């Protein structure tokens, strides 16, 4: 995935981010993405638990069900830089 992302840390320590991306699936289909998220700031373990909303669009028939819907989810960033994401339709 290629992603252009801007993140702001506000004076109260909360975080807001927004970006645009494009990815190619394992089966060679292209998905475009616009997303945003926010977090209260790092938790007691130093992780940043972002809560996100993503909007995908594609010309792929296989993934056409992603067009016109928003996926909400969790995007957690660990102190070592690893991430985990869960999205719900």
What would the pLDDT profile of 10-44 be if each residue is shown by its tens digit?
999 999 999 999 999 999 999 999 999 999 999 99
pLDDT one-digit tens code per residue, 46-89: 999 999 999 999 999 999 999 999 999 999 999 999 999 999 98
Residue 32: predicted pLDDT:
97
Measured between alpha carbons, how far is 54 from 43 in angstroms, rounded to an integer? 23
pLDDT at 17: 95
Confidence (pLDDT) at 1: 77
How many angstroms separate the CA atoms of 47 and 79, rounded? 5
Res 49: pLDDT: 96
The pTM of the whole model exceeds 0.85:
no
pLDDT of residue 78: 95
Phi and psi torsions of 86, nearest 5°: -130, 130
């Amino acid at each position: 995935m290629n992603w252009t992302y801007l993140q702001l840390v506000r004076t109260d320590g909360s975080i807001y981010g927004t970006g645009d991306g494009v990815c190619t699936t394992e089966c060679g289909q292209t998905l475009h993405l616009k997303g945003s998220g926010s977090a209260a700031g790092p938790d007691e373990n130093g992780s940043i638990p972002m809560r996100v909303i993503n909007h995908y669009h594609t010309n792929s028939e296989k993934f056409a069900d992603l067009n016109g819907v928003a996926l909400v989810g969790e995007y957690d960033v660990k102190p070592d830089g690893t991430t985990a994401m869960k999205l719900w339709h």
